[in-house]
Amino acid sequence: MTEIPEDHPRYESLLTRHRIEAGVDAGITSRQGLIAQGRGEAFDYLLGERTIESADAAERAAAAQLLLAERPVLSVNGNVAALCPGELVELADVVDAALEVNLFNRTDERMEAIAAHLREHGATEVKGLTADGRIPGLSHERAKVDADGIGAADVVLVPLEDGDRAEALAAMGKIELVVDLNPMSRSAQAADIPIIDNIIRAVPNVTRHARKLRGAPREELDAIVAEFDASAALDDAERAIRNGTTQE
């Protein structure tokens, strides 16, 4: 693995590209995942490749919501696993959440490769392989979840999720936290807390907020969640993408 100097002006972008390519080599990232990565790059470019203020507020609200949850689950797909495996394991640890692999194009090989990749990055338990639960309203392969994982979760973080599944999870009554760079996507629209940010910036920032909020009383966490306005955050992100400058 080539080391990319951290002071390189395109460090984050190069690191992202590098990790996604390595994900293909490891059998983790699919063709659809590469195309999705490109779509994300374009939105991030228009956003100025930065965490806008409303996204930081969403990340703080997500941290509070994960800390309030009784059974939080972080859902992991091929791109998420390739882009920030260690960062997700760290977040799961800080908010005491389970990690569950969920794929748009589910194959046993990719499920196993992703679970192994998460374990290499420190995960002790990875759900998703039992697949004894179902999300109502989705076709067979797409519906599979672990009954004691996403099936029983009250709060789920679903980064880079497909629109159909994001809507079906919302319909199940889960509190849904979505990371997506397109504020107009169905996933972002379906979320209780949409985080319009690059997952590479978003996950460590949710963790940072969670660390700060960990000792806070429930009323304070409840207030942070209640104050967050999903619709205003989506409007703000769309405004930044459409009208914002790409160079600050």
Binding status of residue 49 toward a copy of itself by CB under 8 A: no
Q: Binding site annotation covers 185?
A: no
Question: Pick from 4, 26, 34, 152: which binds a copy of itself (CB under 8 A)?
Answer: 34
Residues contacting a copy of itself: total by CB under 8 A: 23
Q: In angstroms, give the least distance from the CB of 25 to a copy of itself.
A: 10
| Chain residues 85-124 in contact with a copy of itself, contact rule CB under 8 A | none
Binding status of residue 1 toward a copy of itself by CB under 8 A: no
Binding status of residue 52 toward a copy of itself by CB under 8 A: no
Q: In angstroms, give the least distance from the CB of 124 to a copy of itself.
A: 32
**Looking at beta carbons only, is 37 or 102 nearer to a copy of itself?**
37
CB proximity list for 140: less than 8 A, separation 6 or greater = none
Interface residues with a copy of itself (CB under 8 A) are: 17, 20-21, 24, 31, 34-43, 45-46, 182, 184, 241-243, 246
